[in-house]
């Protein structure tokens, strides 16, 4: 059985005209409502009927009425047309909502970045900052990472703007008599076990690489996913640990002493990347400026 094929090329204007005539069932009044001349409206309706191959209206005295097929077409078309006409505003609303949402991928300096978010939200309640930790994704607006030494060719995030700053890594030790008079120390003079921050993969990798570069292997005996727990363990004399200058900030524990490591240039680079993913990136960029300024301000503070 051969099915009949139709070449239908309905235009939005045709559909708009049809819906108005179907609503009023009066061509003259519809033409006035649409601000067009009656012959143009009549011609548009006839063209639509020709394209569909089905009469949509029938004459009834001096007026017109929808045919049964015309009524069916009207009832199906009206909600579709209304949704279609609402799409531009919905799109604008979606774009505006996206502007007030920032996806922040935190792969390094999580303690510092979390505090920055808290401080920013105090005066910017309307901004939603979505914190994620995903080394594989490129679905972010801002990403915070770390490298031993940052090189642009290492960046595969397709960023539009990048902020880079270096932070020194100190050795945090208990304030015991053996250490309290020292400012600098060689890792080879350390007899205690090491305490680490669990889950900080990039930072831990950098510390391991720095130690390996001088032929030193730290005896890691305890890990915690909480910075405060690591600090308390060091203060209690359980072990020693690496203290990142900017990320952990100013010394806030009287029982901990920070020493400069003499064996090599112990530091890392913190990298903040910005991607302009939206039609309006103003809110994202404002937070990015705040975040980079926040980090830079912390860098200039003396931690000891």
pLDDT tens for the chain, residues 1 to 304: 445 555 567 789 999 999 999 999 999 999 999 999 999 999 999 999 999 999 999 998 778 999 999 999 999 999 999 999 988 888 777 766 777 889 999 998 888 999 999 999 999 988 899 999 998 888 899 999 999 899 887 777 788 999 999 999 999 999 876 788 899 999 999 989 999 887 667 888 899 899 999 999 989 888 888 888 888 899 888 999 999 988 886 666 678 889 999 999 999 999 999 999 888 889 999 999 999 999 988 876 655 5
Tell me if 235 is assigned to some domain. yes
Do both 127 and 211 map to the same domain?
Answer: yes
19, 77 contact by CB (below 8 A) = yes
Beta carbons within 8 Å of 147's beta carbon, 6+ residues apart:
154, 202, 206, 268, 269, 271
Do both 51 and 185 map to the same domain?
Answer: no
Tell me if 211 is assigned to some domain. yes
Do both 148 and 272 map to the same domain?
Answer: yes
Neighbouring C-beta atoms of residue 3, cutoff 10 Å: 5
Do both 231 and 293 map to the same domain?
Answer: yes
Do both 110 and 65 map to the same domain?
Answer: no
Do both 102 and 117 map to the same domain?
Answer: yes
Residue listed under structure tokens 């939200």: 121
User: Cα–Cα distance between 21 and 304 in angstroms, integer?
Assistant: 81
Q: What angle do CA 188, 191, 195 make, to 5 degrees?
A: 100
Beta bridge partners, 60, equal: 63
DSSP, collapsed to helix, strand or coil, labels residue 66 as: strand
Do both 169 and 201 map to the same domain?
Answer: yes
Tell me if 4 is assigned to some domain. no
Do both 137 and 173 map to the same domain?
Answer: yes
Domain boundary among 94, 129, 148: 94
Q: Give the pLDDT of residue 1.
A: 44
**Total structural domains in the chain?**
2
Long-range contacts, 123-128 (Cβ 8 Å, 24+): 124/287, 126/100, 127/100, 127/101, 127/102, 127/283, 127/287, 128/100, 128/101, 128/102
| 196-to-18, 149, 155 alpha-carbon distances in Å | 72, 21, 27
Residue 25 is encoded by which pair of tokens? Answer: 């069932």
Domain boundary among 94, 123, 138: 94
DSSP, collapsed to helix, strand or coil, labels residue 276 as: coil
Q: Give the pLDDT of residue 225.
A: 80
Domain boundary among 61, 94, 127: 94
* E strand or H helix that includes residue 191: none
Tell me if 1 is assigned to some domain. no
User: Cα–Cα distance between 140 and 158 in angstroms, integer?
Assistant: 11
Do both 103 and 73 map to the same domain?
Answer: no
Neighbouring C-beta atoms of residue 233, cutoff 10 Å: 20
Do both 288 and 155 map to the same domain?
Answer: yes
Tell me if 244 is assigned to some domain. yes
* pTM for this model (two decimals): 0.67
Tell me if 241 is assigned to some domain. yes
| 86-to-80, 83, 185 alpha-carbon distances in Å | 10, 5, 68
Do both 82 and 154 map to the same domain?
Answer: no
CATH of the domain at 182: 3.40.190.290
Q: Give the pLDDT of residue 202.
A: 81
**φ, ψ of residue 2 in degrees (nearest 5):** -95, 120
Tell me if 2 is assigned to some domain. no
Residue 216 belongs to what domain range? Answer: 98-303
User: Cα–Cα distance between 160 and 177 in angstroms, integer?
Assistant: 50
Beta bridge partners, 124, equal: none
Do both 134 and 166 map to the same domain?
Answer: yes
CATH of the domain at 83: 1.10.10.10
Tell me if 26 is assigned to some domain. yes
245, 270 contact by CB (below 8 A) = no
Sign of CA dihedral 112, 116, 122, 128: negative
23, 73 contact by CB (below 8 A) = no
């Amino acid at each position: 059985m051969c099915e009949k094929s139709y070449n239908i090329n309905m235009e939005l204007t045709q559909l708009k005209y049809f819906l108005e005539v179907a609503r009023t069932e009066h061509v003259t009044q519809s033409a006035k409502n649409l601000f067009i001349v009656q012959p143009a409206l009549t011609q548009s309706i006839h063209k639509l009927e020709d394209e569909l191959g089905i009469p949509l209206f029938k004459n009834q005295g001096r007026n017109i009425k929808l045919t049964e097929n015309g009524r069916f077409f009207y009832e199906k078309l009206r909600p579709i047309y209304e949704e279609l006409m609402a799409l531009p505003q919905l799109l604008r609303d979606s774009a505006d909502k996206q502007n007030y949402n920032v996806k922040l991928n935190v792969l390094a300096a999580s303690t510092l970045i979390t505090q920055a978010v808290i401080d920013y939200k105090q005066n910017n309640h309307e901004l939603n900052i979505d914190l994620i930790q995903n080394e594989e994704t490129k679905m972010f607006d801002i990403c915070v990472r770390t490298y031993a030494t940052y090189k642009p060719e290492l960046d595969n995030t397709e960023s539009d703007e990048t902020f880079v700053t270096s932070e020194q890594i100190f050795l945090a030790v208990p304030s015991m008599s053996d250490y309290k008079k020292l400012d600098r120390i060689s890792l080879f003079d350390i007899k205690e076990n090491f305490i680490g921050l669990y889950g900080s993969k990039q930072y831990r990798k950098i510390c391991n690489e720095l130690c390996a570069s001088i032929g030193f292997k730290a005896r890691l005996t305890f890990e915690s996913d909480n910075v405060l727990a690591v600090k308390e363990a060091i203060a209690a004399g359980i072990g020693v640990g690496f203290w990142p200058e900017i990320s952990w900030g100013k010394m806030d524990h009287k029982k901990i002493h920070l020493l400069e490591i003499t064996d090599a240039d112990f530091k890392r680079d913190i990298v903040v990347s910005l991607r302009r993913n939206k039609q309006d990136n103003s809110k994202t960029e404002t937070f990015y400026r705040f975040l980079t300024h926040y980090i830079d301000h912390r860098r200039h503070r003396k931690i000891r």
